[in-house]
């Protein structure tokens, strides 16, 4: 009976949405963001769309603490989850912007990816609001969502989110490793993850790339070798030497160039067998390198002989 009387009183006191919004505004202004139980109970009966409108009309004129108080209440009532599902289908810009603002304040884990997706919106205001909302979220919540986006082949992501991912290498590196060890993802997904690992400059990046190398396809393996060449000369030397007999000619060719660029001791002897390689490009490259080296040695020998002759004449 008590509940019925209370509900009747609420209905009488706040018969219209306009009156309710006015009352909310007055109370929040007076109490610096706190709502009385009757107002909270009435708010609970609003549909998500109406609640979004309430925050739109009231929140913009109040200090941030007031909006935060509203959102704390919304979170408890589980309406935020409905907001997330509404983001994709909501057509009215004003409502959408309010939902984005509220979700940014809430910092919900499950809101991270929907907000990231809004960065693709053709609506500039929505893009900016989503970026602002994401900026409020901790990177520890955001990074898993961003890496999940890469996995979903959202290839526009790396350039925009790399700065965020790079702020938490200890968190991001294991997640990227986990992604790279998954089977049967599109190769471009692996390439994007490898590129982020490179940019991260995590102390264990070279070891991690070496560990996952064998499980990847030729294009990804080539990228890993190129990055290892930049990060760790010793690891890349041994890896390149092992690739001289790889079934893929692309990797054999890259291995030859890597050994040449690193000037690995005895690299000419290592690549000599490939002068008879079945692949024309590999064969031509190795033959050219061997001839070039012989030519340089011949020139150096001639210069040395000339120098000795001049020295002998000078002494005479």
Distance (Å, rounded) from C-alpha 133 to C-alpha 113?
12
The predicted structure's pLDDT at residue 7: 43
DSSP collapsed to 3 states, 175-217:
HHHHHHCCCCCCHHHHHHHHHHHHHHCCCCHHHHHHHHHHHCC
Q: 95, 53 in Cβ contact below 8 A? A: yes
Beta carbons within 10 angstroms of residue 40's beta carbon: 16
Q: Tell me what pLDDT residue 163 has.
A: 62
Residue with structure tokens 């909501």? 90
CB of 114 within 8 A of CB of 88? yes
Query: Is the distance from CB of 244 to CB of 276 less than 8 angstroms?
Result: no
Cβ distance 255 to 225 under 8 Å? yes
- Sketch the domain layout of the chain as residue ranges: 13-88+97-105+119-132, 143-231, 239-307
7: nearest Cα among 42, 44, 59, 37 = 42
H or E element, residue 248: none
Q: What is the pLDDT of residue 298?
A: 64
What 8-state DSSP symbol labels residue 223?
H
pLDDT at residue number 249: 94
Q: What is the pLDDT of residue 3?
A: 45
Those residues whose C-beta lies under 8 Å from the C-beta of residue 219, and which sit 6 or more positions away, are: 187, 191
**One digit per residue, pLDDT tens: the chain, 316 residues?**
454 444 444 444 555 677 777 787 788 777 776 777 777 777 666 666 666 666 666 655 555 555 666 666 665 556 667 767 777 676 777 777 877 877 777 777 677 778 877 877 888 888 888 878 877 777 676 777 777 777 776 655 545 555 666 677 788 888 888 888 888 878 878 887 888 788 777 788 888 888 888 878 888 889 889 988 888 888 888 899 999 999 999 999 999 999 999 988 889 999 999 999 999 999 999 999 998 887 776 665 555 555 555 555 555 5
């Amino acid at each position: 009976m008590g509940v019925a009387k209370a509900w009747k009183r609420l209905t009488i006191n706040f018969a219209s949405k306009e009156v309710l919004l006015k009352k909310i505004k007055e109370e929040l202004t007076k109490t610096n963001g706190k709502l009385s139980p009757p107002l909270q109970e009435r708010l609970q009966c609003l549909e998500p769309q109406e609640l979004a409108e309430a925050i739109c009309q009231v929140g913009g004129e109040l200090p941030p603490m007031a909006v935060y108080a509203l959102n704390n209440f919304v979170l408890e009532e589980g309406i935020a989850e409905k907001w997330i599902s509404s983001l994709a289908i909501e057509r009215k810009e004003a409502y959408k912007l309010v939902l984005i603002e509220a979700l940014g304040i809430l910092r919900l884990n499950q809101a991270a990816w929907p907000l990231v997706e809004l960065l693709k919106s053709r609506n500039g205001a929505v893009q900016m609001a989503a970026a602002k909302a994401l900026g409020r979220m901790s990177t520890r919540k955001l990074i898993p969502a961003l890496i999940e986006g890469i996995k979903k082949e959202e290839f526009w992501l790396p350039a925009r989110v790399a700065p965020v991912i790079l702020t938490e290498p200890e968190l991001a590196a294991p997640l990227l490793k986990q992604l790279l060890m998954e089977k049967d993802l599109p190769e471009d997904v692996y390439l994007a993850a490898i590129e982020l690992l490179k940019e991260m400059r995590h102390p264990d990046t070279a070891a991690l790339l070496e560990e996952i190398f064998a499980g990847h396809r030729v294009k990804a393996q080539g990228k890993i070798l190129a990055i290892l060449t930049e990060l760790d000369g010793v690891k890349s030397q041994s890896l390149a030497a092992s690739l001289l007999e790889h079934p893929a000619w692309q990797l054999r060719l890259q291995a030859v160039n890597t050994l040449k660029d690193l000037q690995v001791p005895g690299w000419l002897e290592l690549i000599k067998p490939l002068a008879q390689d079945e692949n024309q490009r590999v064969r031509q490259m190795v033959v050219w390198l061997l001839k070039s080296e012989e030519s340089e040695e011949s020139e150096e020998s001639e210069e040395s002989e000339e120098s000795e002759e001049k020295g002998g004449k000078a002494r005479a």
